[in-house]
Amino acid sequence: QAQLMQSGAEMKKPGASVKVSCKASRYTFTNYALQWVRQAPGQRLEWMGWINTDNGNTKYSQKFQGRVTITRDTSASTVYMELSSLRSEDTAIYYCARRQGLDGFDPWGQGTLVTVSS
């Protein structure tokens, strides 16, 4: 069964950057796109962007354009999400999720809590 394992919790100061990793296993990495979704405390799910793991093409939400970068390392079956210029409102759980074909995100990583505080 496909699995996504994310890096551990991070605590950052405002203005800093954070880079979260998502390692895929038990499936062919380049056959599926990977998405990043975040959820602030008590808030809704928010789509951030996705990467074509085969060719590296990316698409980002307008909200995060210019602040988010999604990359992949095919040799390590790992996708990275870097968010810069952090502010307190970026405090959230960040999830990676595999897109199965055209639609449907499954499975999801366990989530990475990023806390932004001075």
Partner 1 sequence: QSALTQPASVSGSPGQSITISCTGTTSDVGTYNLVSWYQQHPGKAPKLIIYEVNKRPSGISNRFSGSKSGNTASLTISGLQAEDEADYYCCSCAGSATLPYWVFGGGTKLTVL
Which residues make up the interface to partner 1 (CB under 8 A)? 35, 37, 44-47, 49-50, 57, 59-63, 95, 97, 100, 102-106, 108-111
Beta-carbon contacts of residue 74 (< 8 Å; ≥ 6 apart): 29, 30, 53
Give least dist CB 31 to partner 1, A. 17
Give least dist CB 32 to partner 1, A. 13
Determine contact, residues 61/69, Cβ cutoff 8 Å. no
- In the numeric block, which tokens belong to residue 65? 């354009």
13 or 102: CB nearest partner 1: 102
13 or 44: CB nearest partner 1: 44
18 or 38: CB nearest partner 1: 38
The rounded distance, in Å, linking the Cα atoms of 20 and 10 is 9
Give least dist CB 38 to partner 1, A. 10
